[in-house]
Each structure stands twice: as C-alpha cells, then as structure tokens.
A and B are shown apart, each in its own frame.
Chain A
C-alpha cells in the first residue's frame, strides 16, 4: 500500500498540548536510521496533522500522547482522516501511556498499531515495514 515515495514517509506529531517528546524524538531517529523519511511536526491538532499528511503524501501518520488525551484526540484524528478519504491509504500509529483497556479502544477506533512505553526499535520498525508493504 506504499505511496509514490522513494522511501517510506512518516509524519510524526505530538497530539495537542502533550509536553513529553522524548519518546517521539527517539522514534523519529530510529525510523530515519532504518531508512525511512521522517517529518517531525511537533505539537499539533488533528486538522493540522491531516492537512500536512495530505500535502506530504505521507505513508504513515504516527502520533504520540502521554498526557491523557489519546482517546479524544486520537478518535478525532481517525474521524477526520476518514472524512478526508485518507484512512484506507495511510497507516495510523499511536504511542504513549495507556491502560490496557484504552489500548483496545484505540485499536477499535481504527489505529493500525498501538505502542506503549517499552516498545522496542525492532517492534516499531518491524510493524511499519509490515503494514506499509
């Protein structure tokens, strides 16, 4: 399902106002080191994330939330992607601190993959390669 990019193109963003970006910066580096193209957006709301993903024709949208807003903003992101016709052509990944119940809810909301603290480089890179292929 890869788009017309030379490398897998990943857009990474912090959801909303969440201040914790250690994890997302680490992921940015590991994806780049694995040969992907990474756009690091910083903090943004779903509409900005979707707009940039369309402009950039990103294969993957990865968002990070450790502040508790993952269900609200995560669902907004997926809804907006569906509305803009992006949901089926793009991979959606979310990472952060979630309870096991919320982990399940995020999957049900439409995220292709959900990662919590402790996910390894191998798991994250492997999942993206598998999903985009």
Chain B
C-alpha cells in the first residue's frame, strides 16, 4: 500500500493549490504591514532585548513556537471564503451549524460510573434532575478489560472507577426509569472488543423495554487506539483482528441503530496518556480514514457512512492552541472528506466532537484550584465550537467525583451557557490574527503526521510496528522531566508550593458490597439461564470470528441469551489468539 498510493497530504495539495482567489489582504498592504511589523520587532528587541519567539511549555501541549505579536503577516494569503467561510458551510472552520449555540447549546454530558448498575442509575438520575442534557457511562476496570466480576483477576476492582456490567440485565438496571429513547447516551466502551460486548447488552436491554433500535440515540467509542495502544491489560487480541471488530461494529450499528454514533474516535485517552494535541488529532484522523476505506471496500457509500462518525478530544491548558486545534481539525476533516473521499453530503464532512477537560492537568495540592483549571479549559472548548462537553471535577486527582463535585462541573457548563453571553456569537475568535495563524499551523502539522502514519503503511501497521507506542512513551517521559524541573508549571504543586499536608476535601468513598452483589447475580444467572442456548450462541460467535461475517449479530445473540462479558471475550481470545504490545521505556 505504502508508496503506491497517494498520501492524504498529496491529495489535498493537488486539489487545493489553485483555490485562493480572494485573498483578504491585498499584496501591497501585506508588504507595508510586513515592513512595519519587522521594524516594530527590531525596535522592540533593540530596546528591550529578550526573545520575540518563545515555546510554551504546558501540560499536553504541542510546543508550537509563538511570536510576541501576531499580524496579517502571519497568514498573508488568508482567503475568507476558502479558509474560513460561513459556519455550516465549506470548509466549516467556523462551526458545523450556521447558528451554532444559538440553535443548540453544547450538550452537558458528564461521565458517570461507580459501584453496581443500581448505584450508577441513581447518579444518572441525579444528573438529569439537575439539568444534564446527555448521559455518559463509564465502566469499571473488569468490565472495561472484559473480565467478569467473579473472575479472580477482578478482585477488589469491581465497581471501581466505573460501573460493573456483567450481562444484559445489568444494562437494564443501569437505565431503569431513564428515557433512553429521548436522552442521548454515550457508552464509554473504549475498545472495539468491548463495544462488541457491551453495546449488544444495551440493545438487549432496550428490546426488553419495548424500544426499537431506531429510536436509540448516542455514541459508543469503539476505538482500536484504546484497546491496543493506550490500554494496559493482561491480554490483547492482535491489531488486525481488533480493527476488523471496529469496522464490524461500524457496519452493524450504521445498518441497525442509525441514531448511534458508531465510533467516537478517541483522541482523549491518547492525549492524556501522553501525546501532543497534534498527534492526538493525527492518530484519530488516520484511524478514521482507514475505517472509512474499509467501509468503502465493503461496498458502502461514504456519504451514508460518515454521517455518524464522531470525535472525542481532550482539552488541556494551552488556551489558544486548544481553540485553534478544534477549528483546524474541523477544516482538515472537511477537506479530507471532500477531496480524499469525494463526499458530497455536508453532514458526512462534519467534524462533530465531544470534549472533556484534561484529567492529567488536575493537581492534588489545593484541589479547589482545579475548578478554575477546568473552567478555563471549558472556555477554550466552547470558543472552538464543540458539540458536547464534560468538565472534570476538582476532586478527580483523588478519586471519582463526589455528588457535590460533579454538580460543580455541571454548574460550570451552565454558567458558561446562561451567564456569560459567550454562546450568543458564532466562532468569536475567528479572524484573530493569532488564532488564524495557529489554526493554519496546526492543520499543517496534523496533516504531516497523518502522512507519516500513511507512509508506515497505515494506522494498523503503525500500531503493529510500535510507532505510536514509541512516540507516546518518548513524549510522556520528556514531559515528566519538564514537570520535575518546573518548566511545565503547576500552581500549588511545583510553583507556589502550598505545603498542604492533609486531604482538604471530602473524597468519594465507593459503595460497599458491590463485588459480592455482582458475584451473587452471576451465580444466579448461571443457574437461571438456558445454558444450552448460551453454549450454542458462543459457538456461533466463535465461528463468525473465524470467518468473514460481521460478528456483531452473533454477539447480540449472546447478550440476549445471558452470556457474560467475560464469556464473550474468551471467544475472541480463542478465535483470534493473543498479541503482545510493545512497551517502550
């Protein structure tokens, strides 16, 4: 593949070269401004000294150099129609809807999950009662890693960091008395394998509520990056098989649950694991390209498929980089869809995204400061024009959030929406010399990294060869050094140290007895269910894994007859074998 096919960058360069007829600044003005700018810079440096250009060092930043002052000289060829356009129109730099938040405010979607499904059900209802406009559920470590609550390896971890879901009945309990035909639900399934296990349980629960699949709306994650790169786990299936499951999920969900985003390309966890914001986006874009290529190879129309693609970004602390990044990837994705895939349906070219403020930027010392950090990060997300937002809670440097801390996260979003008038105007930073220059630079850097991945042979190959693992490890080891040296600063921690000794806040304590309760439920399930049906559903799934058919209808049958997540993962491991991911340090 590599070498014989044009890279995405080459395709865009060919198509975009003659498309800037209406430069915003005439050449003469730019020349004069350039002269004056250079003079201003020279005079300043002669008088005051110092550096005109600095490199910002912030947590998860891209270290893109910054001049002291931005002017039209930084993007002299800016063409309003071509580079920015109108929101809702090509190339969507300014937003995917003409009226943006005046039409639909960003969805307030806080992530929830702890204890058993009974516990999280209560928290979900609490969030809805207080004005959350979407739901997001995270699973505990055994569920995420696809082991049952009664597996010896799950000991002490059931209901920790998320909710325990062992089989379809748990999904039913989780959404008990919650109108999942009205509110959108994001299931944080992370991995393709996990999506093929948990989403069918969600569908089985919906069937029991008497709901047809086409009324369900929401997202799954379904991202190979999470399963094969970001995750640390005891057992992995090989990347090619994992990618196949990712595409099987896409195909099944698009055909059968049309209101669901079939994958949420998760830059978030990769960024948080340790990459620059540029790599975060390049990897997600490369993965999206490869998935769409595979769907086209399976005979689908890209205009039909891509309407349900969504992205998930982590928004960290370099304020203007974050605003610009979201604008940059929105324009880049539009152009990729148009020129690489020949898409015609505008909806298929939208870079729709959910974002979450950065967990790794939270600081243990003086934890209330985290409210400020998350609020500033939220602002950059909103200036970037995102569709949906989660604000981290101040106590998450200690544990999952208490109800009170979760409420402050919700209120942060409501304050932005209701008190500040920020949402009244579309893309309010558009046209800023600085933001437009940074948007151009970031778009270019993302495209360069996408090309780097394509030259390796594509994203799955980049995983198999350890390219991405290596890149991440190099990034976070260097970042750790910069933090230790105080180059990347954390107020109250490595600068302005507080010397605080004790927990200054109330920290969440997990409900007790969840592990016992889940174990008892599984034991009862195994007596109650039709174990012959279970065995034949698992055998049919294994057969599908070994063949070419889409596996998801078979895992849906498994969910319907009461197979557990651990039983389904065992089938994957048996059919696909195990893979050892590279670890670099």
Question: Which residue numbers of A lie inside 8 Å of B, CB to CB?
Answer: 14, 16-22, 24-26, 28-30, 32, 38, 40, 42-45, 67-69, 71-73, 76, 97-101, 116-118, 120-122
Closest residue of A by beta carbon distance from B145: A17
Main secondary structure of the interface of A (DSSP, over half): mixed
- B93 close to A (CB within 8 Å): no
Known: A17-B142, A73-B155; 13 extra A-B contacts, CB below 8 A, are A18-B232, A19-B141, A19-B144, A19-B230, A19-B231, A19-B233, A26-B480, A26-B585, A29-B477, A67-B157, A68-B160, A99-B398, A121-B484
Binds A, one of B146-154, B325-333, B557-565: B146-154
- List, in ascending order, chain B residues with CB within 8 A of A18's CB: 141, 157, 232
- Whether the pair B153, A16 counts as a contact (CB closer than 8 A) is yes
In the assembled complex, the CB of B580 is this many whole angstroms from the nearest CB of chain A, namely: 9
Assembled-state Cα–Cα distance A20/B273 (Å): 8
Q: In the assembled complex, which residues on chain A have CB atoms less than 8 Å from the CB atom of B154?
A: 16-17
Which of A19, A38, A100 contacts B145, CB < 8 Å? A19
Known A68-B399, A99-B503: A17·B147 in contact at CB below 8 Å: yes
Point out residues on B near A: beta carbons under 8 Å: 141-142, 144-145, 147, 152-157, 160-161, 230-234, 273-274, 363-365, 397-399, 473, 476-477, 480-481, 484, 490, 493-494, 502-503, 507, 510, 583-585
CB-defined contacts of A118 to chain B, threshold 8 Å: 363-365, 490, 493-494
B-chain residues with CB within 8 Å of residue A20 when the two chains form the complex: 232
A14–B398 contact, CB under 8 A? no
* Binding site secondary structure of chain B: loop
Closest 7 CB pairs of A and B: A72-B156, A68-B160, A21-B232, A69-B156, A29-B585, A17-B141, A28-B585
Q: Are B157 and A97 in contact (CB under 8 A)?
A: no
Chain B residues whose C-beta falls within 8 Å of the C-beta of A38 in the assembled complex: 585
Of all chain B residues, the one with the shortest Cβ separation from A24 is B232
Contacts of B398 in A (CB 8 A): 97-99
Residue from the set A38, A68, A72, A98 with the largest chain B CB neighbour count within 10 Å = A68
Contact of A69 among B157, B232, B233 (CB under 8 A): B157
Q: What are some 12 contacts across the A-B interface (CB < 8 A)? A: A17-B147, A18-B157, A29-B585, A40-B585, A68-B161, A69-B156, A69-B160, A72-B155, A72-B156, A117-B397, A118-B363, A118-B365
CA distance A122 to B230 in the complex (A): 27
Please determine whether A14 and B364 come into contact, CB atoms closer than 8 angstroms: no
Residues of A within 8 A of B481 (CB): 121
Residue pair B153, A122 in contact (C-beta under 8 Å): no
- Give Cα A118–Cα B510 distance, bound, in whole angstroms: 24
Return A118 CB to nearest CB of chain B, in Å: 6
Complex CA distance for A22 and B472, rounded to whole angstroms? 9
> Closest approach, in angstroms, between the C-beta of B184 and any C-beta of chain A?
25
Given contacts A45-B152, A73-B155, contact A22 B399 (CB under 8 A): no
Given the contacts A43-B232, A118-B493, A16 and B155 also touching, CB distance less than 8 Å = yes
Instruction: Determine whether the beta carbon of A26 is less than 8 Å from that of B476.
Output: yes
In the bound complex, residues from chain B placing their C-beta under 8 Å from that of A68 are 141, 156-157, 160-161, 399, 510
B464 nearest CB across to chain A (Å): 18
Tell me the bound Cα distance from A38 to B584 in angstroms: 12
- Our pick among A22, A29, A44, A120 for the contact of B273 (Cβ within 8 Å) is A22
Q: Which residues of B contact A29 (CB under 8 A)?
A: 473, 477, 585
B145 near A25 with CB under 8 A, answer: no
Partner of A32, one of B232, B274, B473, B585: B585
C-alpha spacing A75/B397, complex, angstroms: 22
CA of A73 to CA of B510, assembled, Å: 16
Residues of chain B contacted by A73 (CB below 8 angstroms): 155-157
